Structure 1
């Protein structure tokens, strides 16, 4: 059969879908030479339709071989029109990853716009568009810190408050708009003008090439540019406006990874994810903790370390000289690194951070947690409870920290007083042959190791900090507060049993000191306690930390409820002993130095 052509008005239509809007909706077209009585095509010619004026044909469509079966022309056209519209409205597939270029900028004093520090710093390849803000900043820091340390000779730490401009909120719109993964996205760390001047000072002392020396090298030799690598031009003075900006291909940091263009094919068939896998993915928590490379964020800073030793008994604590920075002795030269991420929640007077201490062998012998992770506590002033805070001045911080150390010394000594009482009473019971089958189990508690660190640089706040053993926050438990001697209600099982034992310890301390002092604010992890408060009578309130509240001291006689420990060791309810102990305190005060009557003996 000879090849024939089909003439159609207005637009061309493929013979497999031969429908035109001007034709009747019930018309059928076939590719066969002859069709049934409803067809418009007979012998390869378009049959005239009553009332229809065919315009000049705009295209010629070749006849195709006969196709099996027929399709309603208007249904085929409607389906193809819908598919074409849907395809035209589809958004191009978003890029999975984006390459990022990192800069450092600072804002000069009195200027409205930031200025770039030197040339392109470094880059990150294949950054996924679903990356979180904290993770993006972490990756950027890990990329920038080695270069920062290299070109400042490790004499200038990266600013703690450096802000990452163009954060992750720019990744997804960029990828959707471009639809290509090899596009560059600019990120920048903004530092203060003071940090920039400090960096330039450190670079000058470390003989790092500056823009002046680079320009001199260019003038001296036409090949000077080839002798200088891209990395040597990083961290230079701000480029002069006379020097044109170089292209990214010329300034790209050495070794920067690149991502080849992604070839998009037809979309794969979508399958619903497994429920178990979906739940596991939703339950997965991103790890945004400090990595090894990020430890360069705050470098070890030199200073003096003052280790604190425990008293061997409560009597030794009573005979000790008043605590001051002079009584701590001569400090040891050491270096301390303080991390950025805060440990736990903000306290009333302190904020805790991760840290690392290193020093000579003598210091290692004195402190068993030296060289390992520890807890660094800074003295703070809260501006909004639980949200914001400012660091105390170094002078005020030293006063607060010394009071905290005094609390620690008294708390650990009073705990030794309780242990001595328990050992003496159990020994007496064994000697007298008393039945001890119902004796409660005695848990063992201790307090953290502690030290004071004073940085050599005292120009900024935070120059005096408290060092403690780092506890596992996953095991954290608070047993008793400092405004009430009652055990916290939310405790159950072993934790409640431990809290009852600590309540018994308060009772023993109160009795053995004639109702003058006991430990409060029991809290810690794995039976290692920290941040205790010492509660005293009102006349001694100012001699300890600010947590020494009168309500807590009065709560002993008002709210303490004797438990199994108190009953087993024969303690009397504080409410019944209040008057007796008050008389003892009055007698002791009367017999104080300067009085004529001797103090009565107090049964230990």
Structure 2
């Protein structure tokens, strides 16, 4: 009798375990085949039935005819005789032919039923057929005799056929094969009260529940991701000295912007921030655009008109958009600041890791790990013709044709926080100071101390030329940095080309050694930094 149905061992349902092996030596005897079968199947039995009290020493190995291999003498090849067939060219001789054979690891029935709490069986279905059938010999389809070989292909997978072939030991055997998996189907009627409530609420669509599609603006964009480029690559490759728009490294994308003021994330001194979703085609391997409909923060620059009076005289904040050419220039400048900040912070961590690896003993403190958010420039393309301006001070001069560049946005990864209770956007170090902007009892102070230490490394290892400032964001992700440079660099830049924007205060670099207060990071000997104060 073959028992079929669902077997549950330690809460895990499984049926037959089937595994195959190739290139088995045809000269192997029964004990060797038993060892191979156990080595192949036993680990999976123990994995699927972890915690079940198996007695593996009682397991049996049977062939397709349900013959127990343990009853055969050692040193006698078990399957070799079945692989020797009569040669068609020389009827009195035999030739070797590879074949497939089945071996079964059989668990005695007493083990399946020993613990009613650990094993539950469904005995609804029984079959009088043996669960395993003998494999038919593989015939050569071209009628060619095969040369003698010394390998044999065997498989522990049972045949798909269900021929009734039993060995003599069947009548006295008390074992059964592992039962096949039988899925359970449960049908539940709906709760009347739940159905009534759902029908009442879902049967009508009012304006409050209507999709707010009118609040969304969809743009076809060309996306240019800001990379994290090693400082060494920036220094030795002129075209990498600044971030630029390279169409060969761009992606065609779909951007959805949540436009209404009520949905706005915030408004800063120079930019508005709106929520949105980005989908690249194809998806990026990492960073922004690595998944469809990825959440992004969409930033758009603005300015306050000169006619706008102080807030005391007006309760309404009046802002205006730049001309397209000015928008692009301002966002490229901001992207370039982020490009350099990413590189300098990456360089700082590499220096820290190098010093710790080279030290005779590690420091007593842990190194915080933060990064600047992923970001990129999005160039939108118009779906229709419209009038535009050349610069902020010029009147409209040309029409924008459908399919041409019509808008520019800065897309950023949303700032994440390290816990539900710590959702505060924090200014760690201001660009007009070299010390933490937080008190020692405020959240994020420890990270602010570390970021002040990174400024020390950057200042020292660039020979006093530059460092990152205006650190802000969360304890996991930083945003909107500023690069501060020595005044000798500003004097070499021609008029009209601001070096890293208006926030670059050269005096902070000039006075860094006087204003920076070294902390325990700076003073650890392994970093080899000069202590300023």
User: Which TM-score applies when normalising by structure 1?
Assistant: 0.43
User: Which TM-score applies when normalising by structure 2?
Assistant: 0.48
Task: Name whichever structure is richer in helix by fraction.
Answer: 1
Greater CA radius of gyration, 1 or 2? 1
